[in-house]
Structure 1
Amino acid sequence: MRMTSTVVGALACQLDSYLTTFDTTVVSCRAVQVAAPATATKSGKKGKTGGAKEAEAPAVAPTVSAATEYELELQDTILFPEGGGQPSDHGIIATDSGSLPVLAIRRAVLTALHKVATPLAPETKVTLTVDWKRRFDHMQQHSGQHLISAILDTMEIPTLAWNLGEKVSYVEIARKLSDAEVQIVEDRCNDVIRQGVDIWVEVPDKDLVKKDKLPDDYDAERGILRVVHIGNLDSNPCCGTHLKNTKEMNAISLLHQVPIRGTNSRLYFLIGDRVRAYTKELHALTRSLNAKLSCQTEEIEPKISRLETQLKETVKREKQWTTEVAQTEATRVRAELTERKKSLVYRAELTGLDYFNLFMNELGKLEPGAGVIVMASGAPKTAGALVVIGDAADVVAGNIRDAGIISTLKGGGKGAKWQGKVALWEKGEPEALTAFFETL
């Protein structure tokens, strides 16, 4: 007779969320194909010490190889499958021959499937161990979300959705709360935590459970419908793992709100051990700012405001000076074009195109026959740019590229303008460009 598995809703982790180890048996194992990320490769170029440079080969088409993973159905499990807004547990499946990390657990209608990298034969005896730190964190966040939503319900503000994030979670509500309302919700939640209200799970008659919040693919007739209670304050259908008492939440901290979908708002929160971790993280950040800004904590905000003002003034002055430099350079280039029909503008301290755009604006339109201008930015071991404008600019740029003096140059254009990027200037390449320019 074929073994069967416990349905989701009556799993060991749902009957007792505090179990950390559990003995069970493999019911079935099936292979699943997982596509590996596509990768693209191309032939490289030899460096300066590797001899002559090779011509660049075309990129090789992306290759995709499928990896095989396996989904285990167990007689029962203490590893919670993702559902109800709660991520799946992490854990280990141990056998007499070794241990397998569980990559994920998902619910397939009423069956919990454990994804692993190595197959296990049906009827294999295994021992499960849950990542308790992660599990307890999820219990704190999920039970805490029920509490937050229950308090919001008393204010006639229903919870529309929620998300359990890796560091911060949120509830989505129909409107933004005022700062005073946020404080009221937080205070009431922490009052309930201090009271130590019991949390328990009931499996009532199915006809008494609202089924509008059940997943579309959950078989309500064959499945188990659970209702999570927080004292007399809240009763809600839920499949997740939960605490036994609100005291285990330790504390709830409501953070900030973000508008979404019209008038809706996401209210972010921290619960339990995350509050302590967040406090330590903020304290370390504050201490770092104290050191970097050479000030006390209460002085950080005014000091940053002063620095912002100084930065704006510095940027304004830099723009003025840069404009003056561009005007002076434009005058020099016009003279060179009159004399030589060509001019080189090289700025080692820059990497982008902002200055060149400003310079070209100051220079004005080049008439046919005026000559050609080569502009380059960047220094060895940094990125940069190359812009060529004027007579036969595309031909000049093509000659520079074909000469191979800028190994990482890529770009394009036609006629009177060619523009490209230099991924990395190699040693000696700026000088080589200057020398090549003189041969034009």
Structure 2
Amino acid sequence: MINNKIFYTDPYQVRFNTELIQQSHDDNGPFAVLKQTSFYPTGGGQPCDLGSLNGIDVTQVEEIDGEIRHYLEKALPETTSSIEGFIDWERRFDHMQQHTGQHILTAAFDELFDIKTIAFHLGKEVVTIDLAIEELTKATAKQAENLANTIVFENRPITTKWIREDELDQYTLRKPPIVFENRPITTKWIREDELDQYTLRKPPAVSENIRLVIIDNFDYNACGGTHPFGTSEAGPIKIIGWERHRQNIRLQFICGKRIIRFFENKQAIVNETRHLLNCGETELPDRVEALISSQKTMEEQLHQASNELMIYEAKVYLQESPFIAKTFKDRSIKECQELARYIINNNDHAVVLFTNIIDEKLQMICARGDKPDINMNDVVKKALPLINGKGGGKPAFAQGGGEALLSGKELLDHLEKLIRE
């Protein structure tokens, strides 16, 4: 059943020697099939192992039509018969930790609150489980996390058992109780037809070669993944957040060595922020809040000063003439719009033509007061082909933009010509 799958008989075996059965290729590239292998293939929410065969990198491992295909960076020499394989142990052990953490956390939510896990994804940075609830409180998450870590630190044994579907009634199956401090460990003998109710977290996905992963007196689950021999090897479990996903909750967590990397990064950010703000770690929230408040005040003052300058600018233009044609560079379109509107709102005879080049794009604004009989939307529409642009508006105010195929001054001259016509 599992004689050719070393990752089941010994998940800690990093190096192995075996024979090459065949070498071929498919749409994913060249692959090798071995007599035995330590490489775990993608499946059950767990990514595959990586490593090398005779020094050639293994890029993917899949089980297809009953055979485990080791996809290689390049084909093995045709004369190859014996194989020396190496597993990327850091990757393998990380997957063992995260997958075991998922079993424990899933069981904690189930035992405490009867909240079921309906999906699981082992990502490169975080692991997610989808919980069959619409809302999750901090208190509920904390209780589940605390129970999960209790199971971790008790270092409960993790064992596996292979059975056929028709052998279920031959095994002593028990409901996994929660055990805290001096609470007694209890067991319950059950019939086969009570299996789903009392033992397995969910029905097996297969009907033959069923592999049970058992966390002593806590969880009994059908699973094909790799796991350590004790819960302490999963390391502490930390929930780092959750969000609504469709009608469920998608919860993110990490465990094992990932926690070290996670908090190293967090601490580096905290230390750098402390250095920039010249304060202690506990002072950071107050200091950041003060900075945000100060920034809002400065933004309000800057906006007020900008408005005053714009009003002064508009008055200067109107003193010269009610016909205002200007070209700008790197001015925001919002500021150009506000300036044009202020001018036409304060002079019924005003005609405003603005062009502006920003981020290699050419923009234009055409506006007028109530008196001039000019359709600015028509003017903009006639000018847009010159810049492969898009835009439009109303008879009194229109705008557009496109490619800088000519200078701002050239476009402005063209707009003036259209106005005169």
Give the TM-score, by structure 2 length.
Answer: 0.75
Change over 3 Å in CA distance of 1:393–1:191 after alignment to 2: closer
Change over 3 Å in CA distance of 1:101–1:411 after alignment to 2: farther
1:343 maps to 2:325:
yes
State whether residues 372 and 393 of structure 1, in contact with CA within 8 Å, keep that contact through their aligned partners in structure 2. no
Change over 3 Å in CA distance of 1:92–1:244 after alignment to 2: same
- Distance (whole Å) between structure 2 residues aligned to residue 15 and residue 82 of structure 1: 18
Q: Which runs of 5+ in 1 are unaligned?
A: 1-5, 35-68, 402-409
- For 1:327-349, what per-residue CA distance to the aligned partner results, in whole angstroms no more than 9, with x for missing partners? 344444555664xx55114144x
Change over 3 Å in CA distance of 1:333–1:101 after alignment to 2: farther
**Paired positions, count:** 368
Q: Which runs of 5+ in 2 are unaligned?
A: 169-194, 368-375, 417-421
Q: CA deviation at 1:240?
A: 0.6
Give the TM-score, by structure 1 length.
Answer: 0.72
* Residue aligned with 1:305, SS: helix
Match of 2:138 among 160, 172, 179: 179
* Residue aligned with 1:309, SS: helix
Match of 1:269 among 235, 240, 253: 253
* Residue aligned with 1:84, SS: coil
After superposition, where does 1:149-298 map in structure 2 within 5 Å? 149-155=106-112, 156-175=114-133, 176-207=135-166, 208=168, 220-221=207-208, 224-262=209-247, 264-298=248-282
Q: CA deviation at 1:301?
A: 0.9
Q: CA deviation at 1:104?
A: 1.5
- Structure that is richer in helix per residue: 2
- Distance (whole Å) between structure 2 residues aligned to residue 124 and residue 358 of structure 1: 78
- Distance (whole Å) between structure 1 residues aligned to residue 81 and residue 344 of structure 2: 80
Q: CA deviation at 1:88?
A: 1.4
State whether residues 197 and 246 of structure 1, in contact with CA within 8 Å, keep that contact through their aligned partners in structure 2. yes
Q: CA deviation at 1:132?
A: 0.5
- Distance (whole Å) between structure 1 residues aligned to residue 5 and residue 320 of structure 2: 83
Match of 1:111 among 67, 70, 84: 67
- Distance (whole Å) between structure 2 residues aligned to residue 193 and residue 436 of structure 1: 71
Larger radius of gyration: 2
Match of 2:298 among 300, 314, 322: 314
Q: CA RMSD in A?
A: 3.5
1:389 maps to 2:366:
yes
- The residue identity in structure 1 corresponding to 2:45 is G
* Residue aligned with 2:356, SS: strand
State whether residues 4 and 37 of structure 2, in contact with CA within 8 Å, keep that contact through their aligned partners in structure 1. no
1:128 maps to 2:90:
no
Match of 1:90 among 50, 66, 87: 50
State whether residues 357 and 408 of structure 2, in contact with CA within 8 Å, keep that contact through their aligned partners in structure 1. no
**Equivalent position of 1:63 in the other structure:** none
Change over 3 Å in CA distance of 1:30–1:337 after alignment to 2: farther
Change over 3 Å in CA distance of 1:257–1:438 after alignment to 2: closer
* Residue aligned with 1:203, SS: strand
**Equivalent position of 2:174 in the other structure:** none
* Residue aligned with 1:85, SS: coil
Change over 3 Å in CA distance of 1:413–1:435 after alignment to 2: closer
Match of 1:70 among 30, 37, 41: 30
Q: CA deviation at 1:418?
A: 5.7
Tell me the percent identity: 23
- Distance (whole Å) between structure 2 residues aligned to residue 344 and residue 397 of structure 1: 18
Change over 3 Å in CA distance of 1:361–1:280 after alignment to 2: same
State whether residues 397 and 418 of structure 1, in contact with CA within 8 Å, keep that contact through their aligned partners in structure 2. no
- For 1:153-210, what per-residue CA distance to the aligned partner results, in whole angstroms no more than 9, with x for missing partners? 2121221112212122122212244322322222222222222211111102323397
State whether residues 26 and 72 of structure 1, in contact with CA within 8 Å, keep that contact through their aligned partners in structure 2. yes
**Equivalent position of 1:54 in the other structure:** none
* Residue aligned with 2:143, SS: helix
1:375 maps to 2:331:
no
- Distance (whole Å) between structure 1 residues aligned to residue 320 and residue 60 of structure 2: 68
**Equivalent position of 2:183 in the other structure:** none
- For 1:243-278, what per-residue CA distance to the aligned partner results, in whole angstroms no more than 9, with x for missing partners? 11112123112222212222x212221211111111
**Equivalent position of 1:362 in the other structure:** 342
- The residue identity in structure 1 corresponding to 2:223 is C
